[in-house]
Amino acid sequence: MSLLRQGSAAAAAAAPPDTPVRRGRGTVTAGGSAGPRTGRRSSRTRHQLMGLFLITPFTLLFLAFLVAPLGYAFWLSLRSSTLVGGDHFSWFANYQQAFTDHQFLSGLARVALFGVVQIPLMLGLALLGALLIDEVGSRLAKVFRMTLFMPYAVPAVIGALMWGFLYSPTFGPVQSLTHALGLGSVDLLSHSLMLTSLGNIVTWQWTGYNMIVLYAALQGLPREVYEAAKLDGAGPVQTALRIKIPMVSSALVLTLMFTIIGTLQFFTEPRVLRPIASSVITPDYTPNLYAYNLAFQYSEFNYSAAISFALGAVVFVGSYLFLFAARRRSGLK
C-alpha cells in the first residue's frame, strides 16, 4: 500500500500541471486544482442563486401585502384607544372582550346555522351533477357542465346585486310572479326567509365550482373498475354509491373544508343586500360584517382587528378539527 501511494505521488509530481491524476474517488489536476467536482459545485451554486433570484419578487410581494398587513393588524389588536387612557397596550383584553361579545357570538351562531343547512345541500347538488356528467359523457354533458360553471365566473358582488333586484319587494320580478300565481306577497328579504335567500345565492354561485372539482376527480378514476363492476352486475346507481363516491372521498373532503372556511368568512352577499334589507341584516349579522362595520363605521380599529383574528382562530380550529375527524374516519394517523 505504501508503494502504491509513493507511485501515485511520483506520477503526480512528474505529470504536467494540467494533467488529471485520479486520487481515490475524485480527479484533480497535478497543479492541485479540482476538475469536474469543482464544476459541479459551481453549477449547483449557480442554480441555487437563480432559484433565489426567481422567487425574490414573490417573496417581496408576499411580505409586503400579506405578512406586513397581518403583523400590523395583530399589533393593532393588542392595543386600545380611549379618550381617558389614550392609545396604549392592552395585550389580550380585546380578545377576551371578543369571545364574550354577544354580537360576535350571535353572528357566529347564525353563520353556523347557515352552514349546517346550506353546505350539505350545495355539495349534494354538486356531487349529483358531477356523477350525471361523468355517466353521460356526450355533447349535452359539456353544455350542462359549462352552464353550471357559468355562475362561478360572475363576480360575487354582481351576482348579489342581481339577486337583490330579483328579491326586491317593490320592483322585483319574484313579487310579480307570486302575485300571478295567487300566492300573494312573499318577502324574500324578511327575517324568516333571509338565510334561505342568502343560501340560494351562495348555492347558485358555488355549486358549479364544486361540481367541476368533483368531476375532475371522477375523470381520474381507472375505467377498469367500472368495467369490473358491470361484469359483476352492478347498475349505475350501485356503481356510483359503492365505487365512485368512496374513491373521490378525498376530493369531497377538500371541497367540504374550503366550503366551511368560506362559510365562516361570509361577507359579500350580506354586505351587498344590507341597503335594501337594513332592518334584517344588522351591522353584526356575520362576524366579518361586524368587523368591517366596527372599523369603517365606528372607527374601532383595534377591536375590529381583534375580532378578525378571533374569527381567524375559529376558522383554524374548525378546519383542524374537521381534518382530524376526516383522517380518523379514513383510518389515517
pLDDT in tens, 197-243: 999 999 999 999 999 999 999 998 888 888 888 888 888 889 888 89
**Is there a contact between 213 and 255 (Cβ–Cβ < 8 Å)?**
yes
pLDDT band of 331, cuts 50, 70, 90: low
With respect to residue 67, please indicate whether it lies within any of the assigned structural domains.
no
Residue 33 included in any domain: no
* Of 323, 310, 122, the residue nearest 205 (C-alpha): 122
Q: In this structure, is residue 182 part of a structural domain?
A: yes
How far is the C-alpha of 146 from the C-alpha of 149, rounded, in Å? 5
Q: Specify the amino acid at residue 265.
A: Q
pTM: 0.81
209 belongs to a structural domain = yes
pLDDT in tens, 46-81: 888 888 999 999 999 999 999 999 999 999 999 998
* Domain assignment present for 41: no
Rounded to an integer, the average pLDDT of 289-311 is 95
pLDDT tens digits, one per residue of 248-258: 999 999 999 99
3 pLDDT above the threshold of 80: no
In a domain, 321, yes or no: yes
Q: Assign 3-state DSSP to the chain and report helix, strand, coil percentages, each to 5.
A: 75, 5, 20
135 or 63, which is more confident? 63
Is residue 103 within 8 A of residue 328, CB to CB? The reply is no
Q: What is d(CA 130, CA 310) in angstroms, rounded to the nearest whole number?
A: 36
Considering the domain boundaries, does residue 11 fall inside one? no
- Total tally of structural domains belonging to the chain: 1
Q: Domain range for residue 315?
A: 94-330
Spatial distance between the Cα atoms of 171 and 7, rounded to a whole number of angstroms: 102
Least confident piece of the model among 134-148, 179-193, 296-310 = 134-148
CATH code of 115's domain: 1.10.3720.10
Cell of 69: 398587513
Question: Is 16 a member of any domain?
Answer: no
Q: Which residues contact 280 (CB under 8 A, 6 or more apart)?
A: 189, 190, 191, 194
CA distances from 170 to 189, 259, 332 (A): 11, 33, 55
